[in-house]
Structure 1
């Protein structure tokens, strides 16, 4: 059992809210998206929690029984949480990505690895005047602008697709001499990877949680060293070692966002209270560093740039994107007040163990 976001293209997964966060270059019917699966597990657990409360108040209410007993929310939550360790582990194993999207068939690059860098430009330009290392620049064949005009612009209207000299760029599966394809899990470490930990579905002492804690490990004051997702300004949306880091639109490919920082800092706060000394130390160090860095970044941008911003540059801390943005960026107030996301405890199976999961 798994879920996938609707309407995904090779360039965007808008329904997820993580617009240009890298998924697979090829789109498949059997894809499974880790962030959506995590949300569904959380929602099922939340319904189970609400039902327990309702049942305690109205134990003889037939309507309550119909809403709570028949759907079996607790069992659904348990099944979804167990599925995390069945569907989302595979070719990602050993890659440093503990849990990852299942992307279905993807093109194999040289050396047998999955191809992650698209063979087309991502800036809307194309043709011989805007070449790539492979030749004349291509347009994204899976998006809304698959055609290259003689003037070197990508578009999707007849002016771009049906004019003299216009060229429709081929999808990967339509190209001659395409490299072999193979089912893959995503090799990308980033915000999607953190959802099971951030939503309380992965116990802090689980081996896969340990990999995430290592990725958040703080570096030095000058910003060097540290884990792959750590920066002086907060948790980055994509690993600094990813080939797509800060590439293309660079929206969810390295920028620091308040909503996922709040979820992650909340998770680190919980893990910093874990009885295992190793987990407690690692999580505590990451929590202190990322909390201080994120709060300082938001406040410095507010002081210097006069606004709360949509996201922040992981290198400079400068506010970027929309401003003023007093939506989720004001979650900084909860971080400053040391008010992490509160989760109710529930025992759910995790990878063959009895592990602690959580629900709202």
Structure 2
């Protein structure tokens, strides 16, 4: 997945790895020209030395220089004036409930809560796996108007809802409703809860309390460049009927923070247990409330203003927060109470109808419970969209230190709200396969956002960590992006789908085209293999002594076994197949625009040529497609025997190191049957009558190899790397587990081959039906049991594992249910 926690810097490009295809060798000088040749060579060496010095002074320039083409997105395309319906949204996926605008220095709103009955200040705010929540996620979310979420925190149940209403010049109004109730058991005291509703700025604008009654912040006012004037009102808590007022204790805090990433710290630091909750006729109990905040340590400059409204109340209860834009001239009524209820009902009904029109699950016979699961999976991906703004930190192969990439915005879905709440290049292509079925315009905008982050060389940082909030969720050693590192170009899958849907117009494609050409050329040039029409991922781990098999994070398949000894002689099958797809899509795009596309068509024809594919990657002795490289299977991890230390010195800590029992040689990579082997099938490059298609279908269905009752495992059980640790602390990742993105490609491909005339049509059709049913059944079962979709699934039990909730590409189960490919 190209996001493993333990990783090393990728290798830089090697000089003169590969010249132009088909270029002749340089001519040698005749005998009479030897002296002249020596003089020319000396001058050439001197010039080369000067150029090298100059290059080292400014070589990082291209890596940090934006692409010269006009931006794919017009200026201010995310503003309230250009896109009012999308201006406000739940674009803070890393918090349990948050809102922000799509602007560079957006004000934010959010919710924290604290169960006072615990007797300690366990504040909930950012989505953390360590919180151990039984469930959280969007049940319904249409991406524009509303969202409904359920959160289960121990015995506490929260239902959060928001609705937006258009109007004015700044994206209109919006309101939140939070309903809280406790699951009480006999003998437990009444639960009372503190909820902290906050608003904060990010370096510009102002916030001020508007109405304060004793310690009760009733409303606040603010202004920013993007929003103009606005007010936020905190409605009085009521019972669940929305009409009966409840007794509550109030606290409020006005403070400054170093940034939005420090909001939790500020609230925690301000909490004091000195406050008393004393409802009439009830027991008095102490609780933690926001009190005073001393400010950040000396030398740290606060630039975020923060206002917090804390309400402490017995459960069950209902609270509403109302945001009103100052530019709305006349309102039919405040978006609260019954008006809010009606708006929620209207948008929910519209969502239900649209979901069925789009995916047709009721028509296909899925139960109500299965349909609710699909709606939650889809809504979590859509509700997990984030808007980020900031710099990447980029390391060029020629610069000594990382440098700041040009600042920019990114509107993107995220793989996981708890563990990966940021943009990942190859994940996003899979995300948009689902979201593009719902809203093709949304996918086009997301695609353009990503391509606008391209540098002059055609490279896009594969992991986007933009802004302080995003960076706070990533260990510092993993922030730097390397400009020689690629990722699978899955956006070509999205373009292929949008073109087949007829969902892209010529002006949009024309804006994209210069960047698509550069992106394609970047892969074709920087990831080229040792012989024409082969490709090699750069970025393999360069310390083979420490790894059972050096990882290839750039491929997205991290620890999937490759050649045991990285070298320039490698040929990577999956990258070759990605480039075949890219060439085919570029041909279609060029044709759509009336542009010359001969180079793309030629490349596509060559890369899908089954005979050449077999020549480069069919390993007859292995009976499958495979990578090629400097490889030996005779490797193992063993504890070293360190030499005795000098007298008086402690013994060194032994390390688990790789032992090579048989020297490597250039050959096809054995012991690696799995997802990579399937790529000619997955991306539908094989002819329907190819005997290799029959071989891959047999491997897929073989339970000793890839088949399980829960989906296709990533690596054959017969592989010596199956479920093997890669280092002492590096557990298997793509070495047996079931991954839904690749299984989706498999289901899609089987569906394709089941409709093509050929000797394997019936076999593909049977496999399609069985694999699809197994995947849907297991993902749904695990969701019912655990409350979540998962990053991966165990190939022996089907149990979800890895990080959660993972409503990134695991949500592709919705397309499998809908049979939309």
User: TM-score when scaled to structure 2?
Assistant: 0.31
5+ residue gaps, structure 2, are 1-531, 542-548, 644-650, 726-730
| Structure-2 separation of matches of 1:183 and 1:8 | 17
Residues 1:118 and 2:657 aligned together: no
Query: Does the aligned pair in 2 maintain the 1:20–1:251 contact within 8 Å?
Result: yes
Greater RCO between the two (CA within 8 Å, min separation 6)?
Answer: 1
Query: Does the aligned pair in 2 maintain the 1:34–1:192 contact within 8 Å?
Result: yes
Please, which of 685, 690, 703 is the counterpart of residue 201 of structure 1? Answer: 685
Please, which of 539, 542, 545 is the counterpart of residue 7 of structure 1? Answer: 539
Please, which of 755, 767, 772 is the counterpart of residue 273 of structure 1? Answer: 755
Name the SS of the counterpart of 2:748 in structure 1. helix
State the match for 1:161 in structure 2.
none
**Bigger strand share:** 2
Query: Does the aligned pair in 2 maintain the 1:3–1:33 contact within 8 Å?
Result: yes
| Structure-1 separation of matches of 2:803 and 2:797 | 17
Residues 1:263 and 2:745 aligned together: yes
Residues 1:186 and 2:669 aligned together: yes
| Structure-1 separation of matches of 2:623 and 2:820 | 30
Query: Does the aligned pair in 2 maintain the 1:234–1:256 contact within 8 Å?
Result: yes
More displaced stretch, 246-255 vs 259-268: 246-255
Residues 1:300 and 2:777 aligned together: no
Name the SS of the counterpart of 2:665 in structure 1. strand
Task: Please show how residues 142-181 of structure 1 align to structure 2 within 5 Å.
Answer: 150-153=652-655, 179-181=662-664
Report Cα offsets for 1:141-165 as digits up to 9, x if no partner: xxxxxxxx822346xxxxxxxxxxx
Query: Does the aligned pair in 2 maintain the 1:229–1:236 contact within 8 Å?
Result: yes
| Structure-2 separation of matches of 1:14 and 1:286 | 30
Query: Does the aligned pair in 2 maintain the 1:214–1:227 contact within 8 Å?
Result: no
| Structure-2 separation of matches of 1:302 and 1:321 | 14
| Structure-2 separation of matches of 1:93 and 1:150 | 47
Query: Does the aligned pair in 2 maintain the 1:197–1:203 contact within 8 Å?
Result: no
5+ residue gaps, structure 1, are 56-63, 107-114, 130-135, 137-148, 155-168, 173-177, 218-224, 341-360
Q: Runs of 4+ in structure 1 displaced over 4 angstroms?
A: 169-172
Q: CA deviation at 1:226?
A: 3.8
| Structure-2 separation of matches of 1:264 and 1:304 | 26
Query: Does the aligned pair in 2 maintain the 1:197–1:204 contact within 8 Å?
Result: no
| Structure-2 separation of matches of 1:117 and 1:314 | 26
Please, which of 710, 716, 722 is the counterpart of residue 245 of structure 1? Answer: 722
Task: Please show how residues 70-109 of structure 1 align to structure 2 within 5 Å.
Answer: 72-82=599-609, 83-89=612-618, 92-97=619-624, 99-103=625-629, 105-106=630-631
| Structure-2 separation of matches of 1:94 and 1:170 | 26
Report Cα offsets for 1:76-129 as digits up to 9, x if no partner: 11122233222112xx213221x11111x32xxxxxxxx3253325xxxx3359
| Structure-1 separation of matches of 2:664 and 2:734 | 26
| Structure-1 separation of matches of 2:673 and 2:714 | 9
User: TM-score when scaled to structure 1?
Assistant: 0.69
Residues 1:127 and 2:640 aligned together: yes
For the pair shown, the structure with the greater C-alpha radius of gyration is: 2
Q: CA deviation at 1:25?
A: 1.1
| Structure-1 separation of matches of 2:775 and 2:751 | 14
Name the SS of the counterpart of 1:322 in structure 2. coil
| Structure-2 separation of matches of 1:180 and 1:12 | 19
State the match for 2:304 in structure 1.
none
The alignment covers a number of residue pairs equal to: 267
Q: CA deviation at 1:171?
A: 8.3
**CA shift in 2, pair 1:215/1:26, >3 Å:** same
